[in-house]
Amino acid sequence: MKDLFLRALRCETVPRPPVWLMRQAGRYMPQYRALREKHTLWEMFHRPELALAVTKQPIEHLGIDAAILFSDILVIAEALGLSVRFPDQGGPRVEPPIHTAEQVEALPLMDVEECLSYVFETIRIVKADIDIPLIGFCGAPFTLASYFIDSSNHSSFERAKKWMQEDPKSFHMLLYKITQATIFYLKGQIEAGVDALQIFDSWASVLDEAQFTEFSVPYLQQILSAIEPTGVPVIVFCRGSSLRFDALSKIKPSGISFDWHLSMKELRQKVPQGIAIQGNFNPEFLKLSKGEIETQVKELLSSMQDEKGFIAGLGHGVLPDTPFENVRHFVDVVKNYK
């Protein structure tokens, strides 16, 4: 049963769907909050023994089928000569913000192996310690670029969109540089031992279809092509992925992580066999009663009974104010489903 997640991701027949959750280690978890009281987030990402402890928390306390490395999509900024802070309030900040073509031109591609050695060290010690698959990850180039351009008010992305329209050439250069660093970064994660990868395109939902096609898809494609020879499976997560199942299927990731706008059954029919699908409850769902959670999970699992390539989870990350007991119940219901 230890390889359920990887088998489902390869679309093999499995006795039950595997389950894991985005943000499965986080503030909803009492054990996480206890550690977080003693350390800054920056320390928790940069000190391998702390990142190891957090990565293991959901294995120990939830019994999930895959672990995800405890890190953040923004640490890669350090490999492009930028700094990233995680203040207690207001979300992460990447500094200095990138506002001009000259700045893009001057962005160095530093030695990823060296700059992000603490991530690779975390992966090595996690792998030596756990017996379920470990998921490594990165941000998608468009999502990272948006944070590099303006992390002070990342809900509007006006500056990124304006730049994209007024000077697409330098915007593409920024995406290209991020993609190059990301490929080194993911290859380093693979060498250190991750079993699968997930690319987070959390801000793809602010793009219209033409913009998504021009500014996100080609870079996702470049990353997938670079990783393909390693044989390590890659899942693509986009906010709003159910609107984009066609474009995402065409770039042939191993799996696509879906939001809750379409049913998994319907998505299974739309996405070609051979590409796994993951999801897709609204994270708010985990605030319902345990009875209601159980009913809805069983409905989903029963609708997917005969389907291959299905991984149970949420359409986005666990919310910090989710009752821990409900998350555990969700995982238990999936694991006990017959």
| Site residues for ligand CP3 per CB under 6 A | 22-27, 36, 41, 68, 70, 72-74, 86, 91-92, 137, 200, 202, 317
Q: In this complex, which beta carbon is closest to ligand CP3, that of residue 91 or of residue 108?
A: 91
Strands 83-85 and 93-95: antiparallel
- The reply to whether 195 belongs to the active site is no
d(Cα 63, Cα 336) in Å, to the nearest integer? 12
Closest to 188 in 3D by CA, of 143, 138, 254, 144: 138
306 has catalytic annotation? no
Q: How far is the CB of 200 from ligand CP3 (least distance, A)?
A: 4
Nearest CA among 273, 274, 285 for reference residue 314: 285
Q: Could you say which of 7, 16, 36, 268 is catalytic?
A: 36
What does the DSSP 8-state code read for residue 19?
Answer: B
Active site residue 23: yes
Q: How far apart are the first and last CA of the chain?
A: 14
Catalytic residue, from 27, 124, 159, 328: name it. Answer: 27
Smallest distance from the beta carbon of 54 to ligand CP3, in angstroms?
8
Buried b / exposed e over 169-202, threshold 16 CB at 10 Å, is ebbbebbebbbbbbbbbbbbbbebebbbbbbbbb
List 28, 147, 185, 219, catalytic entry: 147
User: Do 280 and 314 meet the contact criterion of CB atoms below 8 Å apart?
Assistant: yes
Closer residue to ligand CP3 in complex, CB, 56/308: 56
Place of tokens 């708010």: 284
Q: Rounded distance, CA 295 to CA 228, Å?
A: 39
CA distances from 224 to 186, 280, 310 (A): 10, 23, 20
CA distance 90 to 153: 9
State in angstroms the smallest separation of the CB of 252 from ligand CP3: 22
Q: Which of 7, 16, 23, 239 is flagged as catalytic?
A: 23
Cα-Cα-Cα-Cα dihedral sign, residues 113, 116, 120, 125: positive
- Widest CA span in the chain: 59
Q: How far is the CB of 305 from ligand CP3 (least distance, A)?
A: 28
Q: Which is nearer to ligand CP3, 26 or 141 (CB)?
A: 26
Nearer to ligand CP3, 11 or 331 (CB): 331
Q: How far is the CB of 48 from ligand CP3 (least distance, A)?
A: 15
The encoded tokens of residue 51 equal 């990142």
Q: How far is the CB of 246 from ligand CP3 (least distance, A)?
A: 22
Positions annotated as catalytic residues are: 23, 27, 36, 72, 147
